[in-house]
Amino acid sequence: MKLVTELIESVDVRVQIDEETKQKSHFIEGVFLQAEMKNRNGRMYPMSTMSKEVNRYNEEYIKKNRAFGELGHPNGPTINLERASHMIKDLRQEGNNYIGKAKILDTPYGNIVKNLIDEGAQLGVSSRGMGTLREKAGCQVVQDDFMLSTAADIVADPSAPQAFVNGVMEGVDWVYDAASGHFNAMKVVEETKDLGRKSSKELQESALRLFDKYLKSL
């Protein structure tokens, strides 16, 4: 499976003020996902694939208040809670678009986003997920095994061309570990196949090297 990220250049920002406490709540809202169209990365998400995955994401993450996103572009599929900046509260279909709404959290990275909003920064979002691709008529079609990591990471410089949408980890194959519920980089997984043929000393050295690579892949 490949890590796939798709950039939406602009979302609306909203600031709500509680009349009693005078506390501000920050939100972003706009198109988070798109189906049935070839995007700038040359990929297309069939509506059947997108609809099925959004339904799962809504049930397993949004409704359970577990749909987090990060600030910037992480280089892997796993959500790092230490970098969480917002919680996605709603994701609904409008035609071929999925309109999302996210509340900015009172976390270190969330506070950076709040300050950016207060200073008038233009924000964009980038979805992040895993899936296999199949070439069809000059387009990379995302297959039915597509899984969302998050419907939206927040990016503060949407105009930067390929820096955001083509992360270095997009070219790495990932495999899903059902026991842990995490994706692991294929290079790390492949090396485990050789461990059984090594001496105890070589095994210890390989295990340490493998563990180091695994940590770097998270």
For the chain of 218 residues, list the mean pLDDT of each consecutive stretch of 10: 84 87 91 92 94 98 98 87 96 95 96 91 90 93 95 72 35 55 51 46 54 55
The runs of H, that is alpha helices, within 83-138 are: 108-118
> What was the pLDDT predicted at 172?
54
Quick one: CA dihedral 47, 56, 138, 31, positive or negative?
positive
> Which sequence spans correspond to the domains of the chain?
2-169, 182-217
Interatomic CA distance for residues 13 and 102, integer angstroms: 10
> What was the pLDDT predicted at 76?
85
- The catalytic residues are 73, 126
> What was the pLDDT predicted at 114?
93
Give SS3 for 198. coil
> What was the pLDDT predicted at 198?
47
